[in-house]
Structure 1
Amino acid sequence: MTKPSIRSATAVMRDALRTQLWPLPTIGIFLAVALGVTLPRVDGHVDRELPASLVIILFGGGADAARAVLVAIAGSLITVTSLTFSLTVVTLQLASSQFSPRLLRTFTRDRFVHVTLALFLATFAYALTVLRTVRTADAGQQAFVPQASVTVAFLLTLTSVLFLVLFLAHLARKIRVETMLRDVHTDATATAQRVLTDPANDQAPAPELPAPPSTAVAVCAANSGFLSRIDEDALLTAAVDADAVVLIDRRPGGSLVAGTPIGLTWPRIAESFLPKVRTRLVARVTSAVSTQFERTSAQDAEFGLRQLTDVAVKALSPGINDPTTAIHALGHSAALLCSLAGRALEDRVLLDRQDRIRVVLRRPDLDALLDLAVSQPRRYGAADPAVLARLMTLLREIAWTVHRPDHRRAVTRQLNRLRATIEAQDFDATELEQLAHLADGVRHALSGRWISS
């Protein structure tokens, strides 16, 4: 596999695991049970050989006291775990209703939440496992108190209490909109660095993309859902084996419907495929495209921008009416767009060993990204001059960043649409003058000049 494909496959698996709450707590429980079985056996062999200086700091009570301590630990930890789950669910509901349902992944993949739950459940499981080894002198059996094991349970409990305090502080910080927007921005930047190449590292001229012939065969989606991953190596191998060209016309993050076309394929030289070759190629191409029930950031370079736009639109809704949050989200969108504009936004082309085009994968261009970031906030924030002013500033910042003619044209189109929206509003003369001045700033930035605002 090529390095980009390996990184992509690894990102998909890591994202699938990180958004689940159960893997790390489950591992913690198994490790705790193993420790709870092993450590008492070690206790039974070394209790009489421990130095006096170490015995002083170990648990010194009898069997009844040890049982009481372990029962108290197990009972309290399962209660604290329930409280932690409840707080997490409340936070998820708040984020969903107040900001955007697309932000739930930000919380479910929070590693601190996973570690906290794993620690609580591991301490509970460990205490129960050690409890079964404590014996009294009743019924002729020899009394046994695993001192080191009970001491470890005590230390795990103290650690759990500390983590509970840290978890509450972490949760209070996590639900702040500033933190959520920063996390989305960071995740989107990481996705762009992984999915979109840096033009500075790619000096080869872009090859001319082939036009699909009229005899091209449609490739249909096998399942409905969101396109989550495209296996580039599998596509390239299938195209080379069939001596064909494959065009995937849908981008990661797009909604697919089973049985509808997602791309085209055609033979590189011949006019048409042999029936067996066509059937095998279509099947291999279809299996190389994976779908999920939700969008993920593994290969979807637009998902972070979609989340930021959702926050802005939600804040502009009449039920919330929080333009300050919308403006803050647009600031992150501007920074993300400027970063994306500096990367290769052309369609991705995969070549064989003879440098012949075999696979073409669609990528979002700046026009689509700008439309995603600007259109809905422009529509829903049309009555607020502050929101329109921030949109003008966003276009100005991007205009200063871009250098390609097609990118400048994309900014100009958005500027014209924004000016039309402003002209349709009933603003006073001062507000119109300020917005006109910002529009002039966008035009000057497109020509390489930065005027004072």
Structure 2
Amino acid sequence: MKGNFHKVFDYIFKLESKIAFYPTLISLAGFLFAFFMYYIENLDVSKYLVENVPWLVINNVDTARIILATFVAGLISIMVFSFSMVMILLSQASSNFSPRVLPGLISNRRHQIILGIYNSCLLYCIFTLIAIEPTGDKYQLPGFSVLLAIVFMTLCLGAFIYFIHSISQEIQINNIMSAIFNKAKGRLNRLIESEKDTSAKFPDASNWQVIKSPTSGYLEDISLLTIYNEISQNDIKADILVYKGDYIFKDAPLLNIEKKLDEEATNNLLSAFDFSKSELIEDNYVLAFKQTTEITVKAMSPGINDPGTAVNAIDYLTELFLLRMQKKDTSYYYDASGVAWIHIKSVDFKTLLYTVMASLRTYCKHDVIIVQKLFGMLKYLLNCADCINNTYKESVKVEVESLYQDASSAIENENDLALIKASMDTFVV
């Protein structure tokens, strides 16, 4: 039961990242509020206000119709412009930086709320306009509702001004990289805090029962609680064979378990694996390394030619690697008593560092400034005081040698080569 609740919670969390989630909820609120005001107007609230505070109520039918019709037309224009700005933002981010940054931009909650405010106000104005009854009786006119429409339209204008400011900030690459870094930092910190002593050996899972994938797609997330609830009932352990973020083909091995389970239990285990065509950094910190690396490579392409962005991206990569060196390569899921039930396959530091450096060496080795920056990053990693594993530093030394070889073969200027040689000599390899 807890596992199913956890699955529902994860689904709601992922639904929240969709661009239409908050606009839909807020629009529904505006729609319902319009009918609530219609009910209130039937209780003669406008008549009461006219008698006591007449300056709060619009009691002229033609004036009310003109105001509401103008608001409807204006809100449609604002919404069209705002949605166009969002599409331009996504297009520029995809072409100039990386298509992988789009899910993070789409899930911007502030922009979703603003679009929802537009749509809810539009629906409110439309249904308030429909509720006007031009019978000549001023008390049949929803004057107070029209006043609220003016207030809501003022709110929309304020939201529009904020939207223009926010969208102009959102497109800046420094803000995009900062958002990527902060999400990955939060994810890594949670993983580091959750790690416990893994000195106890986990059973050899090579001869265990294999559960295969029923479908194909990117493995977006794994509900460890769902797996734990199932295997703990059967007093067995599990070994996850795939990485989050990997593309899994149908019938590929997903999970090893100590003994064969019935069909219902197997299906419960399979339900813990969520497949998608997109990825979120909140679920997989490795995606932050991929995105930042792709931004660096794109910045160094002849079409973009922005080495300043590449330098900034390497700074963020340095911070992420320093944080990653505080995490163990092996991960387990523990129960309340500290017993490891699930072995979780995760990308080890050596593979992660090589993947990033292989791309950077290939596309940045001709630029001496970027090469110097990469040497600086690797030096910081070698001097990491919080590194929990000496093999991490050995992996860094291997990348130092590879970077020097590639840069020496790509750069011909003697002064540049001397500078690279001097940087290399500062390492004790």
So what's the TM-score if we normalise by structure 2? 0.91
Q: Secondary structure at the match of 1:198?
A: helix
Taking a change above 3 Å as real, the CA distance of residues 360 and 70 of structure 1, as seen in their structure-2 partners, is same
**Distance between the aligned counterparts of 1:399 and 1:25, measured in 2?**
48
Is structure 2 residue 297 aligned with structure 1 residue 313?
A: yes
Residue 296 of structure 1 and its aligned partner are, at CA, apart by 2.0
Partner of 2:122: 124
**Distance between the aligned counterparts of 2:228 and 2:369, measured in 1?**
49
Contact 1:351 1:358 in 2 (8 A): yes
Residue 411 of structure 1 and its aligned partner are, at CA, apart by 0.9
**Distance between the aligned counterparts of 1:171 and 1:121, measured in 2?**
18
**Distance between the aligned counterparts of 2:7 and 2:281, measured in 1?**
12
**Distance between the aligned counterparts of 1:430 and 1:243, measured in 2?**
66
Per-residue CA deviation, residues 196-221 of structure 1 (Å, 9 max, x unaligned), is: 2338x74x3532233334x3332211
1:251 to 236, 239, 243: 243
Contact 2:241 2:255 in 1 (8 A): yes
Partner of 1:168: 164
Is structure 2 residue 310 aligned with structure 1 residue 326?
A: yes
Bigger mean CA deviation after superposition, 115-124 or 6-15:
6-15
2:274 to 290, 297, 302: 290
**Distance between the aligned counterparts of 1:53 and 1:142, measured in 2?**
15
Q: Secondary structure at the match of 1:358?
A: strand
Taking a change above 3 Å as real, the CA distance of residues 358 and 60 of structure 1, as seen in their structure-2 partners, is closer
Partner of 2:398: 413
Is structure 2 residue 369 aligned with structure 1 residue 364?
A: no
Matches within 5 A, 1:54-65: 54-56=53-55, 58-65=56-63
Q: Residue type matched to 1:154 in 2? A: I
**Distance between the aligned counterparts of 1:115 and 1:167, measured in 2?**
10
Q: Residue type matched to 1:226 in 2? A: Y
Per-residue CA deviation, residues 82-111 of structure 1 (Å, 9 max, x unaligned), is: 111111111111111111001111211111
Q: Secondary structure at the match of 1:211?
A: coil
**Distance between the aligned counterparts of 1:171 and 1:34, measured in 2?**
29
**Distance between the aligned counterparts of 2:8 and 2:377, measured in 1?**
34
**Distance between the aligned counterparts of 1:439 and 1:62, measured in 2?**
82
2:203 to 204, 210, 233: 210
Q: Secondary structure at the match of 2:258?
A: strand
Contact 1:349 1:358 in 2 (8 A): yes
**Distance between the aligned counterparts of 2:318 and 2:4, measured in 1?**
30
Partner of 1:157: 153
**Distance between the aligned counterparts of 1:54 and 1:435, measured in 2?**
80
Q: Secondary structure at the match of 1:262?
A: strand
2:193 to 174, 192, 198: 198
**Distance between the aligned counterparts of 1:405 and 1:227, measured in 2?**
31
Residue 373 of structure 1 and its aligned partner are, at CA, apart by 2.6
Partner of 1:377: 360
Partner of 1:436: 421
Is structure 2 residue 344 aligned with structure 1 residue 348?
A: no
**Distance between the aligned counterparts of 1:393 and 1:313, measured in 2?**
18
**Distance between the aligned counterparts of 1:175 and 1:350, measured in 2?**
39
Bigger mean CA deviation after superposition, 218-227 or 423-432:
423-432
Unpaired runs of at least 5, structure 1: 268-272, 447-453
Contact 2:103 2:279 in 1 (8 A): no
So what's the TM-score if we normalise by structure 1? 0.86
Taking a change above 3 Å as real, the CA distance of residues 414 and 22 of structure 1, as seen in their structure-2 partners, is same
CA RMSD in angstroms comes to 2.7
Residue 321 of structure 1 and its aligned partner are, at CA, apart by 2.1
Partner of 1:24: 22
Residue 355 of structure 1 and its aligned partner are, at CA, apart by 6.1
Per-residue CA deviation, residues 331-381 of structure 1 (Å, 9 max, x unaligned), is: 111111112222x32322235688664321112222122123322011111
Per-residue CA deviation, residues 240-292 of structure 1 (Å, 9 max, x unaligned), is: 3444332112111111001111233334xxxxx5xxx3656544432322211
Taking a change above 3 Å as real, the CA distance of residues 280 and 172 of structure 1, as seen in their structure-2 partners, is same
1:266 to 241, 258, 270: 258
**Distance between the aligned counterparts of 2:354 and 2:201, measured in 1?**
26
**Distance between the aligned counterparts of 2:198 and 2:339, measured in 1?**
14
1:103 to 101, 104, 111: 101
**Distance between the aligned counterparts of 1:78 and 1:420, measured in 2?**
59
Matches within 5 A, 1:219-230: 219-230=211-222
Bigger mean CA deviation after superposition, 406-415 or 5-14:
5-14
Q: Residue type matched to 2:212 in 1? A: C
Percentage identity across paired residues of the two chains: 18
Q: Residue type matched to 2:169 in 1? A: R
Taking a change above 3 Å as real, the CA distance of residues 72 and 6 of structure 1, as seen in their structure-2 partners, is same
